[in-house]
Amino acid sequence: MEDILLKIKGIKAKAGSSEIFKRTLPKPNGLNTVAFLEKAVDKMGISSSEIMKIAQDLYESGYISYPRTESTMYADDFEFDDVLEELT
């Protein structure tokens, strides 16, 4: 870290303009167990058994829904905002 600080210490910088914008993303599709494991193993680089242990711990702590499911659909009336508000 110190070598990076030494390299940038003498650099003069000028702030430019910035814009604030809002972007709305579509709701994510639910993942079945196999798709969840494939994505998690690819992104995290740990074994599927370790990922399922982490998912189970998160579920038991109330942070996520049950991780072992074959459903990839949310009900049309599922209230994502309510869930996210409860989690925060």
Contact between 68 and 80 under an 8 Å Cβ cutoff? The reply is: no
| Cα distance between residue 47 and residue 38, in whole Å | 10
Which residue matches tokens 């599709």? 29
Query: One of 59, 63, 66, 74 is an active-site residue; which one?
Result: 66
Is 74 part of the annotated catalytic residue set?
Answer: no
| Cα distance between residue 83 and residue 77, in whole Å | 12
Residues annotated catalytic, as ranges: 66
